[in-house]
């Protein structure tokens, strides 16, 4: 992931492609630093002061979608 200097938004680059990230995806990916998926959900819930259960489905869905496209590795 890097920042597009023209827009300030996060982008994921891959061979012959670029994925412009929405705010949600960007917030999730900036927290992919060795944390588990559950830890990412907790961190986001704390940051935005919401119930982790409200976020969980969105976070898991976003990560699964990116993994399907081989843009991230979940270990």
38 binds other proteins (CB under 8 A): no
* 21, 12 contact by CB (below 8 A): yes
> Dihedral, CA atoms, 26, 31, 33, 39, nearest 10 degrees?
-140
Interaction with other proteins in 15-34: which residues (CB under 8 A)?
15-16, 18
Among 38, 52, 70, 75, binds other proteins (CB under 8 A): 70
CB of 10 vs other proteins, minimal distance in Å: 11
Q: What are phi and psi of 11, to 5 degrees?
A: -135, 150
Quote the CA–CA distance of 7 and 11 in Å, as a whole number.
Answer: 10
Among 8, 23, 68, 75, binds other proteins (CB under 8 A): 68
- 3-state DSSP assignment of residue 51: coil
The verdict on 50 binding other proteins (CB under 8 A) reads: no
For binding to other proteins (CB under 8 A), which residues are involved? 2, 4-6, 11, 13-16, 18, 67-70
């Amino acid at each position: 992931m890097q920042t597009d200097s023209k827009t300030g938004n996060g982008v994921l680059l891959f061979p012959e492609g670029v994925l412009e990230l929405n705010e949600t995806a960007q917030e999730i990916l900036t927290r992919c630093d060795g944390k588990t998926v559950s830890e990412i959900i907790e961190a986001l819930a704390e940051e935005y002061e919401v119930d982790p259960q409200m976020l969980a489905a969105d976070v898991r869905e976003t990560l699964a979608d990116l993994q399907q496209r081989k843009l991230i590795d979940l270990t």
